[in-house]
Amino acid sequence: MTTKENIIETEHVLDFKSKVPHIIKYMGSKSSLLKYLVDSINEIYEGENICDLFGGTSVLSGSLGHNVTIHSNDIQEYSAVLAKTYLGNYNWSEFESLIDDVIMIAQRHVDNVYQLYPELNFQYDTELDLNEFNAIEQQQQDLIYFDFEDIEHHLFIKNYSGTYWSFEQCLWIDALRIAAEEYSETPVYNPILSSLMFAMAYNAQSTGHYAQYRNANNIASMKDIIIYRNKEIVPYFKKKLNELIESTGHNRFNHTVTSLDYRECLDILPKGTLVYADPPYAFVHYSRFYHALETLIRYDYPEVLHKGRYRTDRHQSPFCKRTEVVGAFEIMFEKIKEKNSKLVLSYSNSGMISLKKILDIAQIILGSEYDVFSKAVDYTHSTMGRSEDKSREVKEYLIIAKPIK
Ligand SMILES: C[S@@+](CC[C@H](N)C(=O)[O-])C[C@H]1O[C@@H](n2cnc3c(N)ncnc32)[C@H](O)[C@@H]1O
């Protein structure tokens, strides 16, 4: 028999998509924990709008955006592009020859650059010895000092040739980035940029992030790098854009996407929004690992420094600093309480502060007005080549806080 309680419960069950098109390689992406996460949200869910406060890959938007209004936020602008890609409202029949059209515009840029600078032609022959290979890499890296005055759009060929990507791959990145601008007033702009981010990730010779590119110190590493140097941006771009076209369509929800600091985002959030928070938990700043994606989206010719060619204005998160992390959590709990919001917070047992410390902060700030409980799941966390071990067994905590009515 169906009781009234049962009806109320089933009315508020979030249905989620388990297969969200994968776009970027990202440390700490929750794509493999989606079911656990959504099941946990469902335990306290009563029909609220949802805010993904630290969106990252925006996979939660991809998973839920078809059945609930989402506010996706992250301080990094590339995350907004990913969220808008998943949450967009598309009428693809208006863009039937999109992929061919974008590639045609990009091809014009590529041809133009080769015509203006015929000397910039670097071939990765499989017969190269280590010295010859490193000389070709160095010539490309030195393009950072080259004056590209004759060609307006040259950010990637100047800053990144011979680093994460070859000159030719950078040329196509610039070309497709420029082609995307032709669509900047349409919803398909974001899927175009996302497909380019995917192609960049799978052509890069680094291990899934842009903190450091690999050096060819011996024949084996040279041969491995050559595999990546000989990949092409365009087939990856086409494959992802096709997949996005096939997997997205009309979306009737009025979603919001912002690139704000979490404090500002919480300030503008309507009262009672359910907040999912997945802040960084390690001392490494996301902005150092994914600066190249931020630069692709902003395309603002930033000053870059160090071997990794990081933008000098990259964001430093308070969650990644020992002296600021406690304060960062305190502010989060205070603002959650101000909004009378439910909170589902992800954290790791290898994080900057312990679960006990987070629960203590929650207790002090949320006090008797909230029920707070935690749960844990074993999780294999990818280190993206940051450490000797490629992945690590960690415990992923969920701290759930809900106002007592
Ligand atoms: C653990 S990742 C989130 C991963 C995401 N849940 C996913 O599944 O892809 C943490 C994110 O917090 C963002 N971030 C760091 N500091 C922030 C701040 N002060 N305000 C907003 N976002 C911030 C980072 O850019 C990063 O994308």
Q: Is 36 part of any domain?
A: yes
Q: Is 298 part of any domain?
A: no
Q: Is 295 part of any domain?
A: no
Q: Is 350 part of any domain?
A: yes
115-123 mean pLDDT: 96
Distance in angstroms (rounded) separating the CA atoms of residues 226 and 223? 5
Q: Is the model's pLDDT at 364 over the cut of 90?
A: yes
Instruction: Give the 3-state secondary structure percentages of the chain, helix then strand then coil, rounded to 5.
Output: 45, 15, 40
> Concatenated DSSP letters for 228-244?
HHT--HHHHHHHHHHHH
Q: Is 143 part of any domain?
A: yes
- Say whether both 202 and 326 belong to one domain: no
Q: What is the CATH number of the domain that holds 366?
A: 3.40.50.150
CB 215 within 8 A of CB 164: no
Distance in angstroms (rounded) separating the CA atoms of residues 274 and 51? 6
State in Å: Cα 257 to ligand 1 middle.
14
State in Å: Cα 167 to ligand 1 middle.
31
Q: What is the mean pLDDT of the chain?
A: 93
Ligand 1 pocket member 324 (CB < 6 A): no
Closest CA to 159 of 315, 301, 312: 301
- In angstroms, what CA-CA distances link 328 with 31, 235, 248? 25, 42, 36
Q: Is the model's pLDDT at 1 over the cut of 60?
A: no
Ligand 1 pocket member 259 (CB < 6 A): no
Ligand 1 pocket member 264 (CB < 6 A): no
State in Å: Cα 291 to ligand 1 middle.
13
Specify the residue with its C-alpha closest to ligand 1, atom 12. 54
Distance in angstroms (rounded) separating the CA atoms of residues 283 and 32? 23
The 10s digit of each residue's pLDDT in 24-45 is 999 999 999 999 999 999 999 9
Ligand 1 pocket member 329 (CB < 6 A): no
47-61 mean pLDDT: 98
pLDDT on residue 269? 98
334-348 mean pLDDT: 98
Q: What is the share, in percent, of the chain residues with pLDDT greater than 90?
A: 89
State in Å: Cα 386 to ligand 1 middle.
18
Q: Is the model's pLDDT at 101 over the cut of 70?
A: yes
pLDDT on residue 287? 87
Domain count, the chain: 2
Task: Specify whether the backbone of 296 is left (phi greater than 0), alpha (psi in -120 to 50) or beta.
Answer: alpha
Q: Give the model's confidence band at 382: pLDDT under 50 very low, under 70 low, under 90 confident, else very high.
A: low
Specify the residue with its C-alpha closest to ligand 1, atom 19. 261
State in Å: Cα 215 to ligand 1 middle.
29
Q: Is 390 part of any domain?
A: yes
Q: Which domain holds residue 18?
A: 4-87+255-280+317-403
Ligand 1 pocket member 56 (CB < 6 A): yes
**Of 247, 272, 301, which residue sits at a domain end?**
247
Q: Is 203 part of any domain?
A: yes
Q: Is the model's pLDDT at 3 over the cut of 50?
A: no
Specify the residue with its C-alpha closest to ligand 1, atom 16. 317
- Say whether both 145 and 262 belong to one domain: no
105-110 mean pLDDT: 98
Q: Which of 51, 269, 286, 379 to mutate to test the pocket of ligand 1 (most atoms within 8 A of CB)?
A: 286
pLDDT on residue 207? 84
